[in-house]
Structure 1
Amino acid sequence: MFHKETACLTVFICLSLPVCVSEVLMNTKLETSELRWTNYPADDPQWDEVSGFDDEKNSVRINEICTPNSPTSYWLRTRWIPRRAATTIYVEIRFTMVECSGLNQRHCKETFILYSYQSDSDEATPTHPAWMENPYVKVATVAADHLRQKGSREGRSNTKVLRLEGLRGAGLYLAFSSQGACMALLAVRVFYRKCSPLRRAFASFTETVPHSLVEQAQGVCVENAVTPPGEHSRPPSMLCGEDGQWVGQPASSCACRPGYEAADGDQRCRGETGTLWIS
């Protein structure tokens, strides 16, 4: 199941919190050689990969196309992207789009379509899967918020973050379909969120990948801490949010054993100062 992420991009920014982690699956900004993505139709490739600069003047590999006088859909497919532990991923796309009014072509559009195709291995060929919606799955039609004038390199780029959830295959391909657009893909970053290891309220939690709105993680009491005695005593648990941040406080509680006291806030228990131990 696929949903366009309608919230502001800042929803997915960690805000400098140490408990928010992104695991990057693909980032074209870090590529120093050709991306070697696949064009379709193969006998009339219109997507062109070139070296260029992004808004921060960093050297990047750019894929660009300009076919405002053609009704044909031209596709560009990434290499296979292993999804690792994620069942929900995010695709961040930075791109520029030329304004149609300056091109004066009846087939011109200011949008493109993002598709995905899941597979358990790197099985794609120039003819497989078939270049159409089904077997590909449409993720979203992407529109530009900022347009550039024909022949101008000035103007803001666009950044869109799309969410893909319910992933089951070992990996996937992404495909960009342009029909009449004059545009450039500046960067594509594919990532997922995870909550980093955490100690809180004398409980320890390992790295957790959320597979839904919230993921319940089971923890353990830190060394020299225990859960209170009683028949309802249970191990600590905590919620990891889909944005990669821990939510609230642990359910159930851990406390320092007799003879130990809290240290480093509520992260560990140490022997009480001044305690005389006789063997």
Structure 2
Amino acid sequence: MPDWVRGGSSFLFALLFSSLLARTGGSALRNYPDNEVTLLDSMSALGDLGWEAYPAEGWEEISVMDERNTPMRTYQVCNVMEANQNNWLRTSHIPRDGAQRVYIEIKFTLRDCNSLPGVPGTCKETFNMYYYESNNGNLWFIKESQYVKIDTIAADESFTQVDVGDRVMKLNTEVRDISNLSKKGFYLAFQDVGACIALVSVRIFYKKCPLTVLNLARFPDTVTGGDSALVEVRGSCVNDSEEFEAPRMYCSADGGWLVPIGRCVCQAGFGEHEGRCQRE
């Protein structure tokens, strides 16, 4: 068995993380748009992620330190020497927080099979992503047939032995979405079928249209719909104002406000100033 397989894959991935940190910003520096609400962020975990990995010789949780000496948790698997791999990694239950559509952003590295010495044709360069909706937050086992496949994930860039020597991290980012969720939450799962992968980070989020004030009408935080349809939202007049025409706007699937209709006007004795009504 080659030396890089004999317990060396954890070291191989850890070796590359020093260059990764500059690209991810570490676990403490991640900022996201105002219209995204994070449900899970593996890079913000304060302890072990504790995801379910089966069989035991498949996915392995490893930890490296970022530039602030904060542990970063990641999962890796590299069983490329044996055929018929079927290694599963499943998150804990993720409450959907009222969202009908969620987005999954994964950052990962994947080894180029052609760069692995002595590896037979069993090596793969893709892995699969699934989910399972459930109202039960404490499931300890889910049958493979119960999962719904999200997609097969391939790397835009894979790394080679030369990259390992140069400590070059070829980080891939992929985003997928799940629509029309209806149960309390869901489980996310990754299936390895014989690749050499490190899941650097997993982030799950949904989009909202943030609270805004327009035409003296206040529109609250609004979760986007489960598909591409617009969500109509009725605004409420700010203090000391009244409806001139019923204020409405539409929340788009991308988390932006569209098509303002109607407005409020200041009551008698008040004038508009910077989105508010002030006594004149």
Q: Smaller-chain TM-score range? A: 0.7 to 0.9
- Please state how far the C-alpha of 1:205 moved relative to its aligned partner: 1.0
How many residue pairs match? The answer is 242
Q: Is the 8 A contact 1:98 1:148 kept in 2?
A: yes
Deviations 1:16-49 (A, max 9, x none): 97xx3221111110113211111122xx431111
**Aligned pair 1:252/2:262, yes or no?**
yes
Q: Supply the RMSD in Å over aligned alpha carbons.
A: 2.2
**Moved beyond 4 Å, runs of 4+:** 53-58
Unmatched runs of 5 consecutive residues or more in structure 2: 1-30
- d(CA) in 2 for partners of 1:252 and 1:87? 28
1:17-28 matched pairs, under 5 angstroms:
20-28=34-42
Aligned AA (1:221): C
Give the Å deviation of 1:56.
Answer: 10
How far apart, in 2, do the equivalents of 1:45 and 1:74 lie? 8
Distance in 2, Cα, partners of 1:246 & 1:137:
32
Report the Cα distance in structure 1 between the residues aligned to 2:194 and 2:205, rounded to whole angstroms.
Answer: 29
SS in 1 for 2:168: coil
Greater per-residue helix proportion: 2
CA distance in 2, matches of 1:118, 1:195: 25
> Could you say what secondary structure the match of 1:85 adopts?
coil
Question: Do structure 1's residue 271 and structure 2's residue 279 form an aligned pair?
Answer: yes
How many Å apart are 1:116 and its aligned residue? 0.2
Aligned to 2:142, which of 126, 129, 133?
129
Distance 2:194 2:121 in 1: 9
- TM-score normalised to the size of structure 1? 0.80
Displacement of 1:224: 2.2
| Deviation for aligned residue 1:155 | 2.8
SS at match of 2:40: strand
- The equivalent position to 1:91 in structure 2, one of 76, 81, 104, is 104
Give the match's secondary structure for 1:101.
helix
2:130 to 90, 115, 118: 115
Instruction: Tell me which residue corresponds to 1:217.
Output: 233
Q: Distance in 2 between matches of 1:224 and 1:16?
A: 35
Identity of aligned residues (%): 34
1:215 deviates by: 1.5
Q: Which amino acid aligns with 2:251?
A: C
Q: Which amino acid aligns with 2:180?
A: G
Q: Residues of 2 paired with 1:79 and 1:163: CA distance? A: 18
Equivalent in the alignment of 1:148: 159
Per the alignment, residue 11 of structure 2 pairs with none
Shift of 1:62: 1.2
Aligned to 1:50: 62
- Displacement of 1:73 in angstroms is 1.3
- Does 2:204 match 1:186? no
